[in-house]
């Protein structure tokens, strides 16, 4: 018999008391092994050890930043005036202001076909006597006499500060109509007012006048009127005429700027396109109504 504070204990009971912890441990081990086996069959990894959480392989993985290279600026076209261009320009008469006259002064057009003069505008062109081939008369008479295949019109810098864009367009379209009566079988190329980098005028205003004129030419429904606008090639990121294209005054074009305009015009592929049934007899202009001041 064994004794403790609760009394006597038989050997059998004592044996059972000693075996209970060992039995419990064996049962727990068996249960754990069975659970682990069942989890393994279901594709579940069971681990009693405590470990740091592993990062996921897809959405939770750290993203890497890709630095995109800025596109390289495209090289400018070659604005060289070729022999083919000079041959094309020999068929032109010029009508307009000092910007237009500059194309002839630079040698790109024949002086004898230069009917452009400084200070001319769409509103005042009939105040000027223009001299060509020793004849001083109205621009309409010169066109009537010459009957060129092409007429390049370039003016507007003397209009933007003195007329509204509606008046500018009305005067310009009236001039085109008059010139068409005098030289009905000519292709008319109307160049946009060129931008500036001086304080002469805001380029935003020039853009408005150009847009109004382009719209009027488009809806004139005359297939022999052609509006050309090299503005995007002439302007820089500051919305002004690029310095390398600007003359000293910042308003007129340097020769490099003239090349851009003429290169652009030539590459619009405007070619003489009159059919036999379109040809008309020129109408001698009546200039008796004009008073010449210059």
Neighbour count for residue 271 (Cβ, 10 Å): 9
pLDDT exceeds cutoff 90 at 129: yes
pLDDT per residue as tens digits for the range 9-39: 565 554 555 555 555 555 555 545 554 555 4
What fold does the segment set 83-278 form as a domain?
Rossmann fold (3.40.50)
114's torsion region: left (phi>0), alpha (psi -120 to 50) or beta?
beta
Q: How far apart are CA 238 and CA 204, in angstroms?
A: 11
Looking at residue 2, its pLDDT comes to 47
pLDDT per residue as tens digits for the range 210-222: 999 999 999 999 9
Q: If you average pLDDT over every residue of the chain, what do you get? A: 86
pLDDT exceeds cutoff 60 at 94: yes
Q: β-strand 187-191 against 130-132: which pairing, if any?
A: unpaired
pLDDT exceeds cutoff 60 at 285: yes
Query: Locate tokens 């600007």: which residue?
Result: 246
Rounded to a whole number, what is the largest CA-CA distance in the chain?
Answer: 155
Residue 180: pLDDT band (50, 70, 90) is very high
pLDDT exceeds cutoff 60 at 43: no
Looking at residue 72, its pLDDT comes to 76
pLDDT exceeds cutoff 50 at 85: yes
Per the confidence metrics, is the pTM higher than 0.95?
no
Instruction: Please answer whether residues 179 and 143 qualify as being in contact, where contact means their C-beta atoms are separated by less than 8 angstroms.
Output: yes
pLDDT per residue as tens digits for the range 231-248: 999 999 999 999 999 999
Residue 155 makes CB contacts below 8 A (sequence gap 6+) with: 95, 96, 97, 99, 100, 116, 120, 121, 122, 125, 172, 193
**What value does the mean pLDDT take over residues 156-163?**
97
Looking at residue 11, its pLDDT comes to 58
Per-domain residue ranges for the chain?
A: 2-41, 83-278
pLDDT > 90 fraction of the chain, expressed in percent and rounded? 74
Looking at residue 125, its pLDDT comes to 98
pLDDT exceeds cutoff 50 at 6: no
More confident of the two residues 253 and 58:
253
**What value does the mean pLDDT take over residues 159-167?**
98
């Amino acid at each position: 018999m064994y004794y403790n504070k609760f009394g006597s204990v038989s050997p059998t009971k004592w044996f059972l008391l000693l075996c209970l912890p060992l039995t419990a441990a064996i049962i727990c081990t068996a249960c754990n092994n069975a659970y682990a086996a069942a989890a393994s069959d279901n594709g579940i990894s069971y681990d009693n050890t405590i470990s740091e959480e592993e990062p996921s392989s897809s959405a939770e993985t750290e993203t890497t930043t890709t630095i995109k290279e800025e596109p390289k600026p495209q090289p400018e076209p070659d604005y060289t005036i070729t022999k083919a261009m000079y041959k094309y320009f020999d068929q032109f008469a010029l009508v307009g202001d000092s910007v237009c006259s500059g194309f002839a002064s630079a040698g790109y057009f024949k002086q004898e076909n230069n009917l452009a003069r400084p200070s001319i505008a769409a509103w005042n062109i009939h105040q000027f006597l223009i001299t060509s081939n020793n004849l001083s008369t109205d621009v309409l008479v010169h066109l009537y006499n010459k009957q060129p295949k092409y007429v390049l019109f370039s003016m507007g810098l003397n209009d933007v500060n003195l007329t509204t864009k509606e008046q500018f367009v009305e005067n310009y379209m009236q001039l085109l109509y008059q010139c068409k009566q005098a030289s009905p079988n000519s292709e008319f190329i109307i160049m946009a007012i060129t931008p500036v980098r001086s304080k002469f005028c805001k380029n935003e205003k020039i853009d408005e006048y150009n847009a109004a004129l382009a719209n009027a030419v488009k809806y004139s429904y005359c297939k022999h009127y052609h509006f050309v606008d090299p503005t995007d090639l002439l302007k820089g990121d500051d919305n002004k005429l690029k310095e390398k294209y600007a003359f000293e005054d910042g308003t007129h074009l340097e020769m490099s700027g003239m090349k851009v305009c003429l290169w652009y015009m030539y590459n619009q592929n405007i070619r003489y396109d009159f059919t036999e049934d379109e040809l008309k007899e020129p109408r001698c202009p009546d200039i008796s109504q004009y008073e010449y001041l210059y």
